[in-house]
């Protein structure tokens, strides 16, 4: 890339501009904006994510201090708090949601051959949700409990990467299990679920879609054992059974056999029971697959620590969803940067170096190469190690 352009401009070059304009064109009310376009809005919110800004005043102050460099960084509209506030209220959040899906498709293609903790040819996904707490006085539309507001972030995570493939934002009262209805199950893929998603009618829908699930079993499940297979107890396995459900409702909701695996973690001595509709994989591999579900928990913790999705720049539904989708876009964009430049550093380290070099006029690979000469790559003990991708 040419010397003289800012790191921020070079990073934004990774954005497929035509794809973004197509996302804008899907929503006619957004097409004819001239003074502060949707792309200007995206750049401002991306800047806020990358430099850890906490408010609209922060964004305005910092960008005005960098005014001579903004044009060459891609900004065309004048940045002010009122303009940003109006954009957060009026610009359709679906523009940024659709655009994030474009980046996700690109990232998944780049990470398709990434090594996986389990020797598995099929795609494996983990599905879960996290709650983002809000102030009830400022976000009355998101009432969760009597004195509390919240929204939920539901994520289907491709464990090769890991890259979020499906993201849904709902109010805090939404039941997690109902979001399974919104998923289009991929034949042959594995869906790893916590026991909170135990709904045998919905699990049977996964089976009918020719996909597989691995879920932690609940206590008190009524079943009849049909067959047992030998297991190596030195690995932590205790049983590998074929069962059929015999409860008054479950037998109707899931009328075909299931596989029930009991496993004791050698490190913690904690006992787990897994249910799956896959009878081909070794039992130990099923247990290892479920262990990979923890990556979605780490993903939630990571984005809450390192991206701005806990303090919001607006209080409307549209503003909240716009900011969350922009945060996900920035996360995926940095993951794309890491892969395309073949960087060995963690996403955490890349975000840190970008935050202090965004408006330096050096080639981006040179700015990031500074990490190679330092002992940076090791995350401290209180950092999440998952993203040493």
* Last-in-domain residue among 233, 262, 297: 297
pTM value is 0.87
> Quick one: 142 exposed, middle or buried, by C-beta within 10 A (0-12, 13-18, 19+)?
buried
Taking each helix axis from N to C terminus, what angle separates 17-25 and 38-51, rounded to the nearest 10 degrees?
120
Instruction: Indicate whether 216 belongs to any domain.
Output: yes
My answer on whether 348 and 203 are in the same domain is no
pLDDT digits (tens, 9 = 90+) for 225-263: 999 999 999 999 999 999 999 999 999 999 999 999 999
Q: How far apart are CA 254 and CA 63, in angstroms?
A: 57
> How distant is the alpha carbon of residue 212 from its chain centre?
21
Residue 358 falls inside a structural domain: yes
Q: Beta strand 124-134 with 190-193: parallel, antiparallel or unpaired?
A: parallel
- 237 and 262 in contact (C-beta within 8 Å)? yes
In a domain, 109, yes or no: no
- Do 78 and 158 lie in one domain? The reply is no
- In this structure, are 181 and 277 located in the same domain? yes
260 shares its domain with 349: no
What is the pLDDT, as a whole number, of residue 119?
A: 82
283 closest CA partner among 91, 45, 118, 159? 118
Residue 304 counted as domain residue: no
Give first-to-last CA distance, the chain, whole Å: 25
Q: Is 41 exposed, middle or buried (0-12, 13-18, 19+ CB in 10 A)?
A: buried
d(Cα 277, Cα 189) in Å, to the nearest integer? 12
Q: Where is the domain boundary, 268, 297, 326?
A: 297
The number of folded domains in the chain is: 2
Q: What is the pLDDT of residues 179-228, one digit of tens each?
A: 999 999 999 999 999 999 999 999 999 999 999 999 999 989 999 999 99
Is 339 in the same domain as 378?
yes
Q: Are residues 284 and 325 in the same domain?
A: no
* Within a domain: 61: yes
Nearest to 102, CA basis, from 334, 332, 302, 386: 332
Task: For residue 1, tell me if it sits in a domain.
Answer: no
Q: Do residues 163 and 279 share a domain?
A: yes
How much is the pLDDT for 30? 61
For residues 136 and 212, membership in a common domain is answered with: yes
Strand 212-216 and strand 190-193: the pairing is parallel
18 and 148 belong to one structural domain: no
Residue ranges in the chain whose pLDDT is less than 70 = 1-3, 29-34, 370-389
176 in any annotated domain: yes
Alpha carbons within 13 angstroms on the beta-carbon side of residue 110 total: 21
CATH number at residue 285: 3.90.350.10
Name the CA radius of gyration of the chain, rounded: 23
Last residue of a domain, one of 297, 328, 344: 297
How far is the CA of 136 from the CAs of 89, 99, 117, 142, 150, in angstroms? 19, 30, 41, 7, 8
The range of the structural domain enclosing residue 373 comes to 7-97+315-387
* One domain, residues 284 and 324: no
Residues 139 and 287 both lie in one domain: yes
| Domain match, 129 and 12 both | no
Per the domain annotation, does 115 fall within a domain?
no
**b/e code 45-60 from CB counts within 10 Å (16+ = b):** bbbbbbbebeebeebb
């Amino acid at each position: 890339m040419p010397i003289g352009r800012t790191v921020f401009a070079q990073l934004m070059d990774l954005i497929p501009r035509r794809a973004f304009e197509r996302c804008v064109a899907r929503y006619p009310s957004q097409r004819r904006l001239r003074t502060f376009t949707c792309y200007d809005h995206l750049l401002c919110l991306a800047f806020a994510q990358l430099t850890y800004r906490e408010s609209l005043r922060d964004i305005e102050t910092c960008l005005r201090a960098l005014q001579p460099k903004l044009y060459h960084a891609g900004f065309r509209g004048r940045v002010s708090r009122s303009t940003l506030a109006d954009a957060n209220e009026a610009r359709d959040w679906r523009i940024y949601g659709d655009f994030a899906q474009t980046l996700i498709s690109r990232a998944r293609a780049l990470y398709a051959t990434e090594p996986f903790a389990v020797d598995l040819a099929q795609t494996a996904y983990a599905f879960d949700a996290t709650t983002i707490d809000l102030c009830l006085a400022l976000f009355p539309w998101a009432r969760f409990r009597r004195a509390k507001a919240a929204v939920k972030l539901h994520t289907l995570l491709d464990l090769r990467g890991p890259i979020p493939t499906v993201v849904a934002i709902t109010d805090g009262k939404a039941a997690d299990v109902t979001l399974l209805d919104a998923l289009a199950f991929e034949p042959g893929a594995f869906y790893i679920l916590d026991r909170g998603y135990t709904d045998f009618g919905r699990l049977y829908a996964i089976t009918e879609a020719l996909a597989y699930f691995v879920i932690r079993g609940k206590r008190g499940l009524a079943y009849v054992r049909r067959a047992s297979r030998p297991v190596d107890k030195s690995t932590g396995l205790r049983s590998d059974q074929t069962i059929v459900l015999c409860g008054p409702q479950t037998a109707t909701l899931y009328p075909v056999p299931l596989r029930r695996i009991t496993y004791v973690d050698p490190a913690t001595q904690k006992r787990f029971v897994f249910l799956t509709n896959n009878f081909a994989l070794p039992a130990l591999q099923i247990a290892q697959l479920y262990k990979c579900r923890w990556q979605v928990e780490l993903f939630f913790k990571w984005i809450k620590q390192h991206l701005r999705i806990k303090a919001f720049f607006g209080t409307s539904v549209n503003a909240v969803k716009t900011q969350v989708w922009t945060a996900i876009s920035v996360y995926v964009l940095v993951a794309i940067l890491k892969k395309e430049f073949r960087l060995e550093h963690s996403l955490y380290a890349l975000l840190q170096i970008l935050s202090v070099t965004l408006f330096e006029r050096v080639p981006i690979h040179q700015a990031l190469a500074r990490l190679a000469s330092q002992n940076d790559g090791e995350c401290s003990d209180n950092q999440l190690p998952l993203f040493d991708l």
